[in-house]
Amino acid sequence: MKGRLAILAGVALLAAAAPGNAEPIFLARQYARCTTCHFSPTGGGLLTPYGRSLTREELSTMGRGHSTAPAADASGEQAFLFGLLGNRLGKLSLGIDLRPGRLEVAFPGGNDDRNLLMNAEITAAFRARGWTVYGELGRQPQREEDARVDSFEHWVGYESQKGLGFRAGRFLPAYGIRFSDHTAFNRKPLGLDTSDQVYGLELSHTGDRHLVQLTASPGRADSIIDNDGTRAFVGAARVQFDLSTRTVLVASGLFHGESDVNPSDGSAGLAFGFSPIRRLTIWTEGDAQFQQGSSGAPSYVLVNETSFEVFRGIWLKVSPQLRTSLGDTSGGTFRWAFELNLLPRTHWNVDLSHYRDKGRSNDVVVKTTLLQLHLYL
Amino acid sequence: MTWIAVKRLHRRIAPALALLALLSPAIDGWAADVPSYRVLRGEVRIVCPLTVGGVFETKTTSISGTVGVADGSPAALSGELSVDLSTLDTGIELRNTHLREKYLEVARGAEFASAVISGVRLDKAGTSTFRGQTAFAGTLLLHGVRRPVAGQAEIRSEGNDVRVLASFPLRIDDYGIAAPRYLGVGVKNEVQVKISLLVTPAPAASEAAR
């Protein structure tokens, strides 16, 4: 039984960790909003030209010194394909994301290791006069041997100069803090994995010190396309208060309605992020997950991610994570996650992650090590 | 002019000279012995709201100056406070370069290199011993342009020194500064200036001269 659980956990991680995407670490640089660097209001995905420039100027060790073109120039190192197309793209932004990786999973009685292509996708966005049209086409590993090519995110959005906005299409609902690691306990277990986008409508208002995002959807995008009986209403609300330029409080709620197959469930959470010094960002999120028909305590999630910039372009992350079982607060899993992220140049970085997942009721320990090369062209 | 004429003139202006002689110490004292305060240390933070939402802060600790507080209602501050704009730090090197070189143009000359606050009047303060909150008005020299500013201040004692907290809004275009924009992200036109100062009583000029 222990061995089977371990294998399941390992396989789950196999189709898993893809760090190096959204960067809530940038709270340390006074960036409390995803939209400064990403087209998506929920973060991750294609970088805006500003985000690309910041990647070169602030994130990479040597990017700034290796280009004679200004950081704002379309022919600079940070631009699409190293600026090969110059100004020809106009207001169209493109990005290619490739993540070859090496995964090793060790569990009681065995181990598994393999080379794999975590992600391979191309994303495009067109932005003008407050309107954004965004689309991504890519390949993601879904199961052990199976990869899927699809458009996981596509939407059209608008934001007025007064900060009122909407978007409609396929996207991840806004909830909590979107850590770059989508296997984090405040993402995948809560229904915020890489393929958990909804078809829906998001309304938002952003101000100097707050951000409100409300999402309503007839269901997960895949459940609508596949018509597999899991289709159900999804609603989400996220409110962010910027207590200072480096201190953020986020309250969130997420609800999945009852479908033909699944009971309804929901989550509510609070997240707090702060950056006491320029090189350090500390995020902590706590969530409670409820499920219809489940007696006893909800499932609790507590995640901390502490990121420290050891040297320009070298980040160390430590993340203790706890998730209790539904109805059993003594059950669940405790995780230690460690990550070393090296960003020598603008368009590529190397990421080494190690996870130690321990079952709280059965003491089964699964150790996962993932080495990735992230090419962002 | 004959000696007699000189004597007559002296007789005429003697009372005026005597009065002037009597008054001169008082005038001298008024100028020199107005309670003065010198900046021990301070911080200026400029809260800049972004066009995409959120804010960032630019700050510096390079603020200096001495002000005298003349009794009156409102209390008027003589002297000025100067902020070295070349030391403003946004936390990001490229943004620092843009701020200093492209927008504030600190290399253009003395009136661009520093921001100077002068002619401050504290609405509720009548004397230098005032402690509490008050509205204030003054003149800000920035980017070579002098404009009136007005805001709120709080003054409180910290031992023998005095803590001054002041804030006022500032419209960027009032000072002829180009709208900060970079790759689709900009700073809104109105920013908030927040000043925290620890000032210490400065020796009066007459005392210092001894």
> What domains does chain A contain, in order, with CATH numbers?
2-376 (2.40.160.10)
Residue-averaged pLDDT of chain A: 88
Contact between residue A51 and residue A45 where contact means Cβ atoms under 8 Å apart: no
Nearest beta carbon to residue A208 from set B55, B93, B185: B55
Helix, strand, coil share (%) of chain A residues, nearest 5:
15, 50, 35
B57 vs A contacts (CB less than 8 Å):
30, 245
Using one digit for the tens of pLDDT, what is the confidence trace for A34-59?
999 999 999 889 999 999 988 888 88
Give pLDDT, residue B31.
45
Quick check: A107 pLDDT over 90? yes
- Does residue A319 carry a pLDDT above 90? yes
Which of the residue ranges A141-145, A278-282, A303-307, B204-208 would you say has the lowest mean pLDDT? B204-208
Residue B151 CA from chain centroid, whole number: 13
Q: How confident is the model over B182-195, as pLDDT tens digits?
A: 998 999 999 999 99
Please state the domain extents for chain B: 35-201
Residue A142 has pLDDT above 90, yes or no: no
Q: Which amino acid is at A121?
A: E
Question: What is the pLDDT confidence band of residue A210, given thresholds at 50, 70 and 90?
Answer: very high
- Residue A133 pairs in a beta bridge with A126, A156
Percent helix, strand and coil across chain B, each to the nearest 5: 30, 50, 20
Is there a contact between A33 and B54 if contact means CB atoms under 8 Å apart? Answer: yes
| CA distance to partner chain B, nearest, from residue A205 (Å) | 9
Chain A contact for B185, CB < 8 A? yes
pLDDT of A146 strictly over 90 = no
Chain A partners of B184 at a C-beta cutoff of 8 Å?
48-50, 127
Lowest average pLDDT, out of A86-90, A97-101, A283-287, goes to A86-90
pLDDT attached to residue B45: 97
Size of interface A-B (CB pairs under 8 A): 65
Q: Which residue of B has its CA nearest to A245?
A: B56
Spatial CB neighbours of B188, under 8 Å, sequence gap ≥ 6 = A208, B48, B49, B50, B51
**Domain B35-201 of CATH type 3.20.20.70:** no
Closest chain B CA to residue A52: B183
Contacts of B188 in chain A (CB under 8 A): 208
Model pLDDT for residues B149-181, shown as the tens digit of each residue: 999 999 999 999 999 999 999 999 999 999 999
Asked whether the beta carbons of B23 and B15 are under 8 A apart, the reply is no
Between CA B111 and CA B105 the distance in angstroms is: 10
Beta strand residue intervals within A221-258, DSSP E: 234-244, 247-256
Q: What percent of chain B has pLDDT over 70?
A: 81
Interface test with A, best of B50, B101, B181 (most A CBs within 10 A): B50
Chain A residue numbers with beta carbons less than 8 Å from the beta carbon of B56 are 30-31, 245
Q: How far apart are the first and last CA of chain B?
A: 41
Asked if B155 contacts B162 with a C-beta cutoff of 8 angstroms, the reply is yes
**Please, which contacts does B58-62 make with residues 24 or more away whose CB atoms are closer than 8 Å?**
B58/B88, B58/B89, B58/B90, B58/B99, B59/B88, B59/B89, B60/B84, B60/B85, B60/B87, B60/B88, B60/B89, B61/B87, B62/B87
Which pLDDT score is estimated for A145? 61
Q: Which residues contact B152 (CB under 8 A, 6 or more apart)?
A: B133, B134, B135, B136, B166, B167, B168
- Asked casually if ipTM beats, i.e. exceeds, 0.95, the reply is no
Q: B99 to chain A: which residues are within 8 Å by CB?
A: none
Cα distance between the two ends of chain A: 44
Q: Is the pLDDT at B135 greater than 90, yes or no?
A: yes
The span from the CA of B83 to the CA of B85, in Å, is 6
pLDDT band of residue A19 (cuts 50, 70, 90) is: very low
Cβ within 8 Å, pair B55-A245:
yes
- Taking residues A189-214, report their average pLDDT: 94
Q: Does B91 touch chain A (CB under 8 A)?
A: yes
pTM (2 decimals)?
0.86
Report the pLDDT value the prediction gives residue B33, as an integer from 0 to 100. 66
- Determine contact, residues A303/A186, Cβ cutoff 8 Å: yes
- Better pLDDT: A304 or A7: A304
